[in-house]
Chains A and B, each alone.
Chain A
Amino acid sequence: MPIPPTVLAELSFAKRLSPDACAALAEIAEMETFPAGAVLFREGDLPGGVYLVLDGRVTLTMRAGGGESAVLSLGTDELVGWSSLLHRTRVATATVSRAAQLVRIPASALLELCERDPRVGYAIMAQAFEDVSDRLVDTRMQLLDLYGRRG
């Protein structure tokens, strides 16, 4: 299902984009709904789509010690699958944990858009960088195992 540029413009991912750039982004994007349990991609998969959450929840899990561990969940307005912007294979498995409406943008088309107009490219990369940096800080806090000691 196509996504109206106005809906896209509401998202943080588009907050640095001009209306024209936003329309260009909407052209390559697709709105999709997923039931709980749907797997968007698996750890180790080849690069594919980048997702933005409109509604619902996506949980990232990683394989560890023979089991699977949930490491982060993402909700409204958050970015899922950023590693595809770097042509990397998937670092985690993304599963819809609460029925979700997502924006799906094929990574190849998105990168093409970035390269065509470096200003748009910069805006998109800067936003992705902001998200990834927030997540890095959060991950560090998780690593501190705050509540494990007492809190």
Chain B
Amino acid sequence: MRRIDRSQLEQLCHLAQRDGRTLIGPTVRDGAIALAPITTAADLPVGWTDVQAPGRYRLSRTQGQRAFDFVVGPNSAKEQFFKPREPLYRAERRADGRVGFVAIVPEPEKRALLGVRACDLAAIAVQDAVFVEGAMRDPRYASRRADTLVIAVHCTRAGSLCFCASMGTGPKVNSGADLALAEREHDLLIEALTPAGEALLAQLSSEEASGEDLRWLDESVESARASMGRHVDTRAVHERLFAQLEHPRWKEVADRCLSCGNCTSVCPTCFCSTTEDRSDLDGSTAERDRLWESCFSREHSELHGHAVRGSTEQRYRQWLTHKLGAWVSQFGASGCVGCGRCIAWCPAGIDLTEELAALSTSDARALMPVAAPCAEEGRDEAMVPSPARVLSVTRESSDVVTLALAIDEPRPFAPGQFYQLSIPGIGEAPISVSGRDGAGVEHTIRAVGSLTRALCELSPGSELGVRGPYGRGWPMRELAGAPVVVVAGGIGLAPLREALRQMLADPQQYPDVRLFYGARTPEDLLYAREMLGWTDRRGFQLSITVDRSSPTWRGNVGVVTRLLKRSTVPDAARAILCGPEVMMRFTIQALARLGVTHDRIWLTMERHMKCATGHCGRCQFGPYFVCKDGPVFRYDEVASLFGRDGI
């Protein structure tokens, strides 16, 4: 530990900018202390402090000359690495006339962060876990983050909303920085935590800190810790929160919450995002941007024309159970670092520590599912489509077509996985693989909205963008050797078709396959001709039913669960299901009556998706991301949450 004179701050700012580093430090801007590019120590908020209370933040003058006499302002280091808005790629005509997709990834940038607090260092570590340490790395975040020099500040005074001590993240800086400062009126203590920090420190004029200096630091940090008025009980908070999904407090807090999303935008760890497609008027180029988004918006959870989380109650519950609960199983750390920003910047002054305490009246604990193994191994994922061409179009029904696509540089796929299909300027959507046709990958698409309608209108030779495959597919290995019951509803047969084809092609491994398929009307049945061809395969049974028909239809009429009720199922049978959630719920009950237990049922979940890489937060489902932990789940992994409102 060394001691430097206050005048050395200028030198520190100067050294931090060497080798073309951009220095990002605290500075007064628009009535708040913001983290922004600065060049000299004079830009620091000398003589300013922040006064915070629930729903309130203001600056106030101090009599002193300290530069770090504040705690945290509305913006954290988050926006340095995860930009509020940034382009992902540009689609344009290539010289050969075909559509090309050009990734937009920033050059690696060198940055120095000055004045970051322990809580924000913990937040950076959390965002690193989301964007670069997971199964898929976001190259944009990674390139901004790659070369960052961090000069942190120990908090010797806690803010009135801080509770980092409860979250185990502060007030002392222990790691995540190259240098740590502690500021007094006339001088600062400084400690190097890494070789880079040591090299920088060596160039400052400093003295060895005295025993008294060290004692002062310990005592100040301890008194900061002791002065925190807010406390969170983090013991088993994940299990405790998920045991309170029906607590009346959610409704009470929702009556106060404006659903404005301020809390998520000031939160240093929130990472949800959406995308936007833009094209110029003549349509020759189109760009896709990524933007910060909030789980408090309606669009965030949209699925089939309604929001999965339609009410503020469900959205607040989602936010809190994710931030303090599910985050732990997803990223190994809480999503809350105790900085108090969401309390200060909530216009209604909602205090999450108070909400948490009110929700913690009982010690009940939910049995949380074990995290599903992720389907992906670490790799860079720039979310840029590859060009693809339509090889053939098969009309399946009035609103469903199957496209066979030739994809540039395809990666192998497994049945049950999905691709993100896009048309520049229109949009992108997750679509399952429905089969393989020679060199082509098949997708069966139902026209429901702007993009799917446009996809259904493509003709052979049309071009589009494709990225993938993504996600965990059907458990083909676990199904081998056992009788397999396949239950499909509507277009839910599409994600199952390739699995069926593979099973029928290998009767040795899959000797007994029974397909139960329900559709709306006989005209809506998919793959009718192909299914007829399957019926003479040994060991295959087909039962089809429709919801309604004309009297000329001689087949079954009624729901698919009625077909199941009429049958018996061999011992040890396994079941795979895909269809609307309600249908799957009743199917699971019917299967249970036939003796098929939850650990022998797999199903696909559907949630709104944007990135498919585990980075946008859109497809949250309890402790899972449907895009990378699913979409296929074994039912016992999701049973406690499946079919519940607003999850």
User: B489: nearest residue on chain A (CB-CB)?
Assistant: A151
User: A148: nearest residue on chain B (CB-CB)?
Assistant: B520
Do residues B547 and A151 form an inter-chain contact, with CB atoms below 8 A?
Answer: no
Does B347 count as interface, using CB distance less than 8 angstroms?
Answer: no
A69→B579 CA distance, assembly (Å) = 24
Size class of the B contact interface (CB-based, 8 Å):
20 to 34
A151→B303 CA distance, assembly (Å) = 11
User: B586: nearest residue on chain A (CB-CB)?
Assistant: A141
Do residues A146 and B580 form an inter-chain contact, with CB atoms below 8 A?
Answer: yes
Whole-angstrom distance between the Cβ of B605 and the nearest chain A Cβ = 13
Do residues A70 and B489 form an inter-chain contact, with CB atoms below 8 A?
Answer: no
Do residues B558 and A69 form an inter-chain contact, with CB atoms below 8 A?
Answer: no
The residue from B490, B557, B582, B586 contacting A73, defined by CB atoms under 8 A apart: B557
The residue from A70, A77, A148 contacting B549, defined by CB atoms under 8 A apart: A70
Knowing A59-B557, A73-B557, the reply to whether A142 touches B547 (Cβ < 8 A) is yes
Which residues in A have their C-beta under 8 angstroms from that of B562? 134, 138
Knowing A77-B566, A95-B551, A146-B490, the reply to whether A70 touches B446 (Cβ < 8 A) is no
Does A61 count as interface, using CB distance less than 8 angstroms?
Answer: yes
Kindly supply a per-residue 1/0 record for chain B positions 348-366, scoring 1 wherever the CB is within 8 Å of any chain A CB and 0 otherwise: 0000000000000000000
User: A146: nearest residue on chain B (CB-CB)?
Assistant: B580
Which residues in B have their C-beta under 8 angstroms from that of A137? 586
Do residues B565 and A142 form an inter-chain contact, with CB atoms below 8 A?
Answer: no
Whole-angstrom distance between the Cβ of B524 and the nearest chain A Cβ = 7
The residue from A68, A75, A78, A145 contacting B547, defined by CB atoms under 8 A apart: A145
Size class of the A contact interface (CB-based, 8 Å):
20 to 34
Which residues in A have their C-beta under 8 angstroms from that of B548? 69-71, 142
Does B556 count as interface, using CB distance less than 8 angstroms?
Answer: yes
Does B340 count as interface, using CB distance less than 8 angstroms?
Answer: no
Which residues in B have their C-beta under 8 angstroms from that of A97? 554-555
Kindly supply a per-residue 1/0 record for chain A positions 36-73, scoring 1 wherever the CB is within 8 Å of any chain B CB and 0 otherwise: 10000000000000000000010111000001111111
Does B217 count as interface, using CB distance less than 8 angstroms?
Answer: no
The residue from A59, A77, A150 contacting B551, defined by CB atoms under 8 A apart: A59
Which residues in A have their C-beta under 8 angstroms from that of B446? 150
Does B464 count as interface, using CB distance less than 8 angstroms?
Answer: no
Do residues A76 and B555 form an inter-chain contact, with CB atoms below 8 A?
Answer: no
Q: B448, B518, B551 — which one has the most chain A CB atoms within 10 A of its CB? A: B551
Do residues A70 and B557 form an inter-chain contact, with CB atoms below 8 A?
Answer: yes
Whole-angstrom distance between the Cβ of A70 and the nearest chain B Cβ = 5
Do residues A73 and B555 form an inter-chain contact, with CB atoms below 8 A?
Answer: yes
Do residues A150 and B556 form an inter-chain contact, with CB atoms below 8 A?
Answer: no
Knowing A72-B557, A134-B565, A141-B559, the reply to whether A147 touches B550 (Cβ < 8 A) is no
Do residues B550 and A141 form an inter-chain contact, with CB atoms below 8 A?
Answer: no
For window 81-138 of chain A, which residues contact chain B by CB distance below 8 Å? 95, 97-98, 134, 137-138
User: 20 more A-B contacts (CB under 8 A) besides A73-B557, A73-B558, A77-B566?
Assistant: A57-B554, A59-B551, A67-B550, A69-B551, A70-B548, A70-B550, A70-B551, A71-B557, A95-B551, A141-B583, A142-B559, A146-B490, A147-B489, A147-B518, A147-B520, A150-B304, A150-B446, A150-B491, A151-B489, A151-B492
A-B contact pairs, 22 of them (CB 8 A): A57-B556, A59-B551, A59-B557, A67-B550, A69-B548, A69-B549, A69-B550, A69-B551, A73-B545, A75-B566, A77-B566, A138-B558, A141-B559, A141-B561, A141-B583, A146-B579, A146-B582, A147-B520, A147-B579, A147-B580, A151-B490, A151-B491
